[in-house]
Amino acid sequence: MFNNLHNRIICAMAAMAFCTLATAQFRINLGETSPIRKLSIAEMAINSLYVDSVDENKLVEDAIRGMLEKLDPHSSYSTPKEVQQFNEPLVGNFEGIGVQFNMLDDTLLVVQTINDGPSEKVGILAGDRIVTVNDTAIAGVEMSKEEIMRRLRGPKGSKVRVGVKRSGISDLVYFTITRDKIPLNTVDASYLIRPGIGYIRLSSFGMTTLKELTDCFTKLRQQGMHDLILDLQDNGGGFLQAAADVLNEFLERGDLLVYTEGRTVPRQEFRAQGNGSFRNGRVVVLVNEYSASAAEIVSGAIQDQDRGIVIGRRTYGKGLVQRPVDLPDGSMIRLTVAHYYTPSGRCIQKPYVKGDMKGYYNDLEKRYIHGEFTNADSIHFSDSLKYETLKKHRTVYGGGGIMPDFFVPLDTMRYTRYHRELSARSVIINANLRFAEKYRKQLLKLYGTEADPTDKHGNPIEGKGFKAYEAGYEVPQSLMDEIFSEGEKQGIKPKDDAEKQLTTIELNRQLKALIARDLWSMTEYFRVVNEANDAVKCALEQLK
């Protein structure tokens, strides 16, 4: 039995001896002393002889994970389900009903419907509570958010029946929704922040990013934009090609954007084609310690090519290129094959010790304790890490991440301990959701359904829209009191009146931004919070 099973394994592996990995090929060595042969015998012995039954699939998955964990922090294994979830935000769409929601008191509360999506078409409204899906209760029961999403999602063309509790209506209202492709946008916000200065915030780099960005350019130019603030704060990256496409919009023909190189992967360069739509006009890129990967490629190239300036704090330092290895069951290995380098030759990847995952992922905490987030003088680079920009020959530094041209310290005083605890326990967001549900109609009647309404001649309508809201709306004290009262019920109290006063200032701004988001979109949220964002203020100062 042992020999027969062993022979079957060897034959099966021999049939898979060649595997295509993008343009490269590799051959599996099945010689007598081959490590692969050794691994297959070990797996076969455990599966055939171990005292208890084992899950063979899990055994193989654990072996793969074990091998990858000893390599670098970003080589990884994903199950078929994880592959699908990973790809959705990058590909740019998924199939479902098209709502943005939050969980409030164990109930799904619709925050917004996706414009022209399936839910909007049948009449689902912001503020609706979805309590049943296909006659199964999802409210007031112990059901995870993931399970609720699974029930609402489904293949394009399939139907789902939802029961909705709507304010002012005693009985449930039922809707049959035909699922469809739902776009996932990577632009969080886009607006004219000052006369002539556009602001665009990118959350990631996906397949739809270039079109979204150029659409924003067109819209903002019509409003008089000639300079741009590109906000990549908290942008964790995405597709390399999307980053190259974005850079192509800003740089001249032949300009080097980024290059990759590895032990078995020859140098591959990405250069601008010279057909970008924003090759003139000043550019400021905002980054912080959570800007990573593709965000670092963009900020590094803008800096190295002297196309613009970078403002904020040193970026994360994720510069390893992963290549997907698709496995027969739909799972995937993402294997690091090369490094990213900026045009000046800087390696984006921060140093790491192979196998020390804990140390690698605690790096940001170490940087915080060291004072790097609050004091530029705490950051020191050796002369060996000095590089020069390609046109103006300014000094920039390698060694992991992108060091900005202008440092903006983290304001550790803005969010008090009291504020952070109220936020962590969801006291603030739940109070805001209840408030928006109760007063949405009243506020929309007062300010209008459009953030920037115009008359038939294209002129702004006075007293309506976001500008009227920004100038005239004040967060009611009753909402603040509700938050403080609920916090006290949960044992969250300020240490003194001074902490409560500081909390009140920032909480007021946060609530005004959240209410604006619930009335219109994420753009209006950022239109509020950006007026107090130190990096944005620094960018505006540089563009004066």
The pLDDT tens digits of the residues spanning 394-450 come to 999 888 899 999 999 999 888 999 999 998 888 998 899 899 989 999 999 999 999
Q: What pLDDT score was predicted for residue 30?
A: 57
Q: Which of 234, 318, 331, 464 is catalytic?
A: 318
Average pLDDT over residues 187-210: 96
pLDDT digits (tens, 9 = 90+) for 133-174: 998 899 888 788 778 888 888 888 999 999 998 876 778 889
Q: Which of 293, 331, 344, 521 is catalytic?
A: 293
Q: Which of 227, 304, 363, 518 is catalytic?
A: 304
User: Exposed, middle or buried: residue 509 (CB in 10 Å: 0-12, 13-18, 19+)?
Assistant: middle
User: Token digits for 199?
Assistant: 């602001």
% of the chain surpassing 90 pLDDT: 54
Tell me whether residue 304 is one of the annotated catalytic residues.
Answer: yes
Tell me whether residue 318 is one of the annotated catalytic residues.
Answer: yes
pLDDT class for 536, splitting at 50, 70, 90? very high
- Residue 302 or residue 182, greater confidence: 302
Q: What pLDDT score was predicted for residue 8?
A: 38
Average pLDDT over residues 78-83: 83
Q: What pLDDT score was predicted for residue 145?
A: 78
**Residue 529 half-sphere exposure, CB side, CA atoms within 13 Å?**
18
pLDDT > 80? residue 9: no
Cα separation, 286 vs 266, in Å, equals: 32
User: Token digits for 357?
Assistant: 């995952």
pLDDT > 50? residue 13: no
Q: What pLDDT score was predicted for residue 259?
A: 97
* Direct distance between the N- and C-terminal alpha carbons of the chain, in angstroms, rounded to an integer: 80
Q: What pLDDT score was predicted for residue 115?
A: 67
- Residue 178 or residue 354, greater confidence: 178
**What is the torsion angle, in degrees rounded to the nearest 10, for the CA atoms of residue 254, residue 260, residue 262 and residue 267?**
-10
pLDDT digits (tens, 9 = 90+) for 326-364: 888 888 998 999 999 999 999 999 988 887 877 887 888
User: Exposed, middle or buried: residue 369 (CB in 10 Å: 0-12, 13-18, 19+)?
Assistant: exposed
Average pLDDT over residues 184-193: 93
- Residue 488 or residue 85, greater confidence: 488
Tell me whether residue 455 is one of the annotated catalytic residues.
Answer: no
Q: What's the whole-model pTM score?
A: 0.82
Hey, what long-range contacts does 387-391 have (CB within 8 A, 24 or more apart)? 387/304, 387/344, 387/345, 387/346, 388/344, 389/303, 389/304, 389/305, 389/306, 389/344, 390/256, 390/304, 390/305, 390/306, 390/343, 390/344, 391/305, 391/306
- Residue 99 or residue 115, greater confidence: 99
pLDDT digits (tens, 9 = 90+) for 408-424: 999 988 899 999 999 88
> How many C-beta neighbours within 10 Å does residue 458 have?
6
The length of the chain is: 544
pLDDT > 80? residue 92: no
Cα separation, 124 vs 118, in Å, equals: 9
User: Token digits for 212?
Assistant: 């979204």
3-state secondary structure of 400: coil
Q: What pLDDT score was predicted for residue 167?
A: 72
Average pLDDT, the chain: 87
Cα separation, 57 vs 41, in Å, equals: 15
pLDDT class for 93, splitting at 50, 70, 90? low
Q: What pLDDT score was predicted for residue 1?
A: 38
Spatial contact of 279 and 250, defined as CB atoms under 8 Å apart: yes
- Residue 39 or residue 428, greater confidence: 428
Q: What pLDDT score was predicted for residue 82?
A: 79
